[in-house]
Chains A and B, each alone.
Chain A
Amino acid sequence: MNGTAIGAGTGAAQPAIIRPYGDTTGDGRVQVSFTLPVPFGNEEERALAEGAALQLAAKMGLEPALVVHAKGMGARFTFFVVYGTARHLVDLSQVVITRREYPLLSGPEINMAIRSSLGRKLVVVGACIGTDAHTVGIDAILNVKGHAGEKGLEYYREMRVVNLGAQVEVPDLVARALAEHADAVLVSQVVTQRDAHLAGARGLARGFASAGARRPLLVVGGPRFDPTMAGELGVDRIFGRGTTPGEVASYLVHALTGGAGAAAGAGEPAGTTTLTVGGGAA
C-alpha cells in the first residue's frame, strides 16, 4: 500500500482537529441505524432492547445517545435509529489516502478518452485459460450484464470485446489476440489447486513473449491473486476479488491511452490495491 499521509494545512481556516457537525460547530452529533437480534414485544423486552442499543452506541463512541426510533421486525429482531454525540476526534493530519495508480472514470469519460487518443475502438480479448472452466469472473467483467451494478466492458461503445470463454489454450489465445490486434488481453483464473492460477499467468506471459510481436497489455484477475505479484508473473496488472468492470475499464484507458505513459509492457508493473480511505468510493 503506498498510502500518503496528508500534512495539516489543507486550507488556512481548516483546523487539524474536527468533530462531526449537527447544527453547531463541535457538537459531534451523528445518526446511526442498526438492527440487534433482540425481541421488541412486552415492556421488559422493549426496555432491554433500547438498553442494548444504547450500550452499543456508547461502545461506538456515541455518548450521550438517544434511541429516537425502535421497531420490532418479526419475533427476534429490533431496528433502531440512534442519535448521539461522537466522543472521537478526527485528526486531519493523520488521514491516510490510498490512491489507485489510475483515476476511476465514468462510462462517457472512458469512451471519450479512447475516441480522442486512439481514434478507433480499443480491442479487448478475454478468456479463461488452461483447464479453468469458471467463466464467472471474466463474464462479470466482459458481459453487458456486468457486476456490482456496473455494466461490463461490452457496454462501452468504444471497446470491441472478444470473449473466448472457457478452457482456451495459451497458444490459441496468443494467435487470436494477435489476429484481432488486441490492445489488451484479460484472463481470469479461478482454479487455484497447486497454484494453477500462478502457473497460468506465467504461461500467458511466456506465450506472448515467444510470439515476438508487440504484445498487448496483459491483465489477469481472480479471487486468490496477490495484486503485487504482477511483475513477478510477467503481466502488467493483476486484479483481485471484488474488482468491478469500471475499474478494469479505467485501468485499460490509463495504461493504453497514455494516462501515465505506461505503454504495453514498458511501464513498471503496478501493484496497488484499490481501497480508498475517506474518498467516498462506491
Chain B
Amino acid sequence: MMAADPSTAPAGKLRLDPAMVSRVRDLAARAGQPIVELARTHTTVSVERAVLRLAGLDGADREGMPWVNHLVDSVRDSCGLEHGVALPVWDALAGGGYPGLAALAADAAAGKVKFALPGADRARAARAAATAALARGFAAIDDRRAERDAMIAQTSEPPRPWIYLIVATGDIYEDIPQAQAAAREGADIIAVIRSTGQSLLDYVPEGATREGYAGTYATRENFALMRAALDDVSRELGRYVRLTNYASGLCMPEIAALAGRERLDMMLNDCMYGIIFRDINPQRTFIDQRFARQIHARAGIVINTGEDNYLTTADAVDAAHTVVVSELLNEYFAKEAGLADWQLGLGHAFEINPQVPDSFLLELAHAQLVRELFPAAPLKYMPPTKHMTGNVFAGYLLDAFFNLAGVMTGQSILLIGMMTEGIHTPFLSDRDLALENVRYVLRAAGRLSENFAPPPGGFVERRAQQVLSESAALLTEIVDQGLLTAIADGTFGVTRRPADGGRGLDGVIERAPEYFNPASEFLEGAGTSAGLSGVTGGVA
C-alpha cells in the first residue's frame, strides 16, 4: 500500500503535475462546499429517523411500518421537524411516563400523543435525556468497532487485493451458506445485494426476510444473522471476512445506523448514485448522505462509491473524466463528514469496449491515474459488465485482463467478475472458475505493480494526463454553474436530474435556528472517535 501526503507526493509512475493534482482537489472542494452548507442547514425525515435508531428504537407495527416512521410522522404532524425530532420526543417520553420509545411510538401511531416543542426548562431536561440516550447508542457502536479490531487480531487481516464476492438469493437463510462457501473458496469480502427497489422504500423493513426481488432486503436482523455467520467462518479460516451492504436510497442514514450497530464492515454509499440511477431527489440525497457518512466514520466502516455505474450508461473512454470528478467529489464529501483515507473505497471500473484499439492500455492509464490520485484509499475496482456478451469463453478472458489490470495498478479491492455476467445469478461453478482466474493472476503476476512502469511520454502516461486535465475542465464548469445545476444538466451518467425533481423532496426540512440533533453532538463535536483504534479521521 502506498502511503503519501498527496500534496507532496512524488510524480509517481505517471509523472502527474502536483500542482494539477492539488488544483482538482481544490476545485472539488469548491464544488462541494455549497452542498455541505445545504446539508448543515437542512434535515430530512430519514435523518431524524436515524437519530431514533441510534437511540435504539427498533420494531414495527403489525403492518410492518417501523416505529421510527410513526414517531417522526407524528412529530411532523404536531409541531413540524424544523427543530428536530429529539426535543418533542424526549419531552413527551418524560411527560407521559413511558417506559421507552417504542411505547411512545405505539401511542403516537394511535393518535394519542400530541407533540410540542418544550419550553426552556423542559427543553433542557429533554436535551439531556436525548443526549444520554445517544451516548448509550454511540457507546454500543464504539463497542462494535472495538469488537471488529479484536476479531481481526484474533483471526488475521487478509493481504490485498481483497477478493469481493456477491450473494443475492433474496432469502437470508440461503444467503448464509452461500456466503460461507464463498469465504471458504477465498472471498475476503461478502456483499449481500439488496432487493431491487429497496432504495425507493421510505422505511427500513424489519426482521429476517426470505423473499426479495433479485436480492435480499437490508434489515437489522438480516445484518446480524449474516455478520454472525461470517464471524463463525472467519474463526474457522483464521481470516477476517468482511460484510458489505448498501447505505443508499431514501433510508440511507438509517441503514448506516443499523450497519454501525451490527458491525458491517463496508457500505455502498455514493454521493450521487441514488440521484442518477434511482431518481431520488438530489437535495434529499446530499443531506442524508452527510449524516450517513458521519455515522460510517464513527463506526469504522469503509464506504464504497459507485462510479463504475456511470460507465454502464456512458462510454468508458469518453466519460473517463466523469469518474475521476465523481471520485474527487466523493472524497471531499467523505472527508468533510469525518471519514479517513483508509475508509474511502472509491470505485472505478474496467468497462472499455474490447473492440477499441489499445483498450487495455486505456484501462491501465485510467486505473493507474486513480491509484496515484488517491494513494491511501482502498480503491474498489469493478469488473467488466457492459461488454460481457454471453460468450462465456471470451468473457473469461476479459475477466483475466481485468484481474491483470488490477494487480498491475495496485488496486485494493477486486470485485470478481463472472463469465456468466448478465446471463444468470452465478452458478457455484461460475464463482469457482472466477476465483481460479484471479488466483492464477495473483500467483503469476501479483508483484507486477512494482515491476511495471509506463515509459515517460508514452501512451499510458499521456492518456492519464489527458483524463486529469479533462477532469479539471469539467470541475471548473461545475464550480461555475453549481453542482446541482450540473446534475440537472446530465453531467453524470447522461441522466438529467433537476434539484427539485425526483423522490423524497417532501422529506426535506429547513432547520430552524434552534434545531437540535443529539447525534450531531457526538458526530461533529469533540467526542468524535476519541480513543478509537485505526486512523483518526482528519477533516480536510
Contacts and interface: CB of A to CB of B under 8 A. Distances in A.
Interface of A: 33-35, 71, 73-74, 77, 79, 135-136, 139-140, 143-145, 147-149, 151, 154-155, 157, 163, 165, 282
Given A74-B181, A282-B390, A144 B276 contact: yes
Contact of B279 (A73, A143, A157): A143
A135 B181 contact: no
Contacts of B390: 282
B196 A144 contact: no
Nearest to B431: A73
B422 A154 contact: no
13 contacts: A35-B427, A73-B185, A73-B432, A74-B181, A135-B200, A140-B196, A143-B278, A149-B422, A154-B495, A155-B495, A157-B494, A165-B503, A282-B390
Contacts of B197: 135-136, 139-140
A31 to B, nearest CB: 10
A6 B328 CA distance: 58
A260 B313 CA distance: 30
B493 interface: yes
A90 B221 CA distance: 53
Given A136-B197, A143-B278, A143-B279, A155 B428 contact: no
B213 A77 contact: no
Contacts of A35: 427-429
A73 B436 CA distance: 11
B277 interface: yes
Contacts of A151: 312-313
A190 to B, nearest CB: 10
A140 B429 CA distance: 28
B428 A144 contact: no
Nearest to B277: A145
A147 B421 CA distance: 13
A143 B185 contact: no
Contacts of B277: 143-145
Contacts of A149: 385, 421-422
Interface residues of B, number: 26
A143 B213 CA distance: 16
Contacts of B313: 144, 151, 155
A135 B200 CA distance: 9
Given A140-B196, A149-B422, A33 B429 contact: yes
B124 interface: no
Nearest to B198: A136
Interface of chain A, helix or strand or loop or mixed?
Answer: mixed
Contacts of B312: 151
Point out which of B197, B385, B427 has the most chain A C-beta atoms below 10 A from its C-beta.
B197
Contacts of A33: 429
A145 B422 contact: no
A139 B495 contact: no
Contacts of B493: 144
B184 A139 contact: no
A73 B432 CA distance: 7
Contact of B185 (A74, A155, A163): A74
Nearest to B196: A136
A37 to B, nearest CB: 9
Contacts of B213: 136
Contacts of B429: 33-35, 73, 79
Contacts of B200: 135, 139
Point out which of B279, B428, B433 has the most chain A C-beta atoms below 10 A from its C-beta.
B279
Nearest to A280: B390
Nearest to B184: A74
A269 to B, nearest CB: 28
Nearest to A147: B196
A35 B385 CA distance: 24
Contacts of B421: 149
A240 to B, nearest CB: 15
Nearest to A155: B313
A144 B433 CA distance: 31
A139 B181 CA distance: 33
Interface string B195-211: 01100100000000000
Nearest to A142: B279
Interface in B372-411: 385, 390
Contacts of A140: 196-197
A165 B197 CA distance: 12
B51 to A, nearest CB: 26
A207 to B, nearest CB: 24
A165 B506 CA distance: 14
A57 B196 CA distance: 37
B495 A73 contact: no
Contacts of A139: 196-197, 200
Nearest to B502: A163
Contact of B495 (A77, A79, A144, A148): A144
Given A136-B196, A149-B385, A154-B495, A79 B276 contact: no
Given A35-B429, A135-B197, A139-B196, 9 more contacts: A73-B429, A74-B184, A135-B200, A136-B213, A139-B200, A143-B278, A147-B196, A148-B422, A154-B279
Contacts of A157: 494
B424 to A, nearest CB: 10
B187 to A, nearest CB: 13
A46 B225 CA distance: 35
Nearest to B386: A149
Contact of B428 (A77, A135, A136): A77
B58 to A, nearest CB: 23
A73 B279 CA distance: 42
Interface string B447-479: 000000000000000000000000000000000
A56 B460 CA distance: 50
Contacts of A163: 279
Contact of A79 (B181, B279, B432): B432
B278 to A, nearest CB: 6
Interface in B185-237: 185, 196-197, 200, 213
Contacts of A136: 196-197, 213
A245 to B, nearest CB: 13
Contacts of A148: 422
A74 B421 CA distance: 23
Contacts of B196: 136, 139-140, 147
A277 to B, nearest CB: 17
Nearest to B436: A71
B417 to A, nearest CB: 14
Nearest to A73: B432
Nearest to A154: B495
A143 B197 CA distance: 10
Interface string B473-516: 00000000000000000000111000000010000000000000
A73 B276 contact: no
Interface in B416-447: 421-422, 427-429, 432-433
B338 to A, nearest CB: 29
A124 B393 CA distance: 39
A140 B198 CA distance: 12
